[in-house]
């Protein structure tokens, strides 16, 4: 019977990080189904979805992850899934949207926007944030870019009102627009 696992790993960025993880997956007779990888600061972070078969698969993967942690000084976490993964909103009509927020860096921007989206049953599928000093003044400007899926029945005018209220309270600018595929 096919089993599914989510694997995450983080460690100091170095050549071979991806090779070490994918060799572990291959050696355990698993298939890499999906992946997302990024560098944050000097740390490399990986999230993998894998599948495999075998009565002792859980043990083999666990032992291989522990070995990799020890040998390569990584932090690895593996979690078995209950059956084949299904994406958020399967069977619903979902629309793709993009949000960008920009303003002077301050605490709470991500938390307030993310909570607003959650309150509208919107699922964030990708998010990137960046802080950078403004060239002339040195003031730190914060930018957040979010890709999300929005249920078709979402009350978009109310969502815009809620985001506008957050933007006014935090003195930031928020743009929300359908992704290119929805236009």
pLDDT digits (tens, 9 = 90+) for 19-72: 999 999 999 999 999 999 999 999 999 999 999 999 899 999 999 999 999 999
pLDDT digits (tens, 9 = 90+) for 74-87: 999 999 999 999 88
One domain for residues 70 and 127: no
Provide the domain count of the chain: 2
pLDDT at 22: 96
Final residue in a domain of this structure, among 48, 80, 112: 80
Give the global pTM: 0.85
pLDDT at 39: 94
pLDDT digits (tens, 9 = 90+) for 97-108: 999 999 999 999
Contact 76, 8 (CB under 8 A): yes
Structural domain boundaries enclosing 74: 3-80
């Amino acid at each position: 019977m096919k089993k599914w696992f989510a694997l995450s790993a983080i460690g100091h960025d170095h050549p071979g990080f991806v090779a070490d993880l994918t060799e572990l997956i291959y050696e355990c007779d698993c298939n890499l189904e999906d992946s997302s990888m990024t560098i944050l600061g000097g740390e490399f972070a990986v999230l993998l979805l894998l599948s495999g078969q075998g009565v002792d698969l859980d043990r083999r993967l666990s032992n291989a992850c522990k070995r990799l942690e020890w040998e390569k000084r990584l932090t690895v976490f593996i979690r078995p899934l209950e059956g084949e993964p299904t994406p958020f909103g399967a069977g619903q009509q979902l629309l793709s949207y993009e949000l960008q927020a920009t303003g002077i860096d301050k605490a709470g921007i991500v938390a307030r926007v993310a909570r607003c989206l959650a309150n509208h049953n919107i699922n964030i599928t990708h998010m990137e944030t960046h802080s950078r000093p403004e060239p002339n003044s040195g003031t730190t400007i914060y930018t957040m870019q979010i890709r999300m899926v929005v249920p078709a029945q979402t009350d978009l005018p109310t969502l815009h009102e809620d985001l506008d209220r957050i933007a006014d309270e935090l003195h930031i600018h928020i743009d929300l627009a359908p992704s290119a595929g929805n236009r």
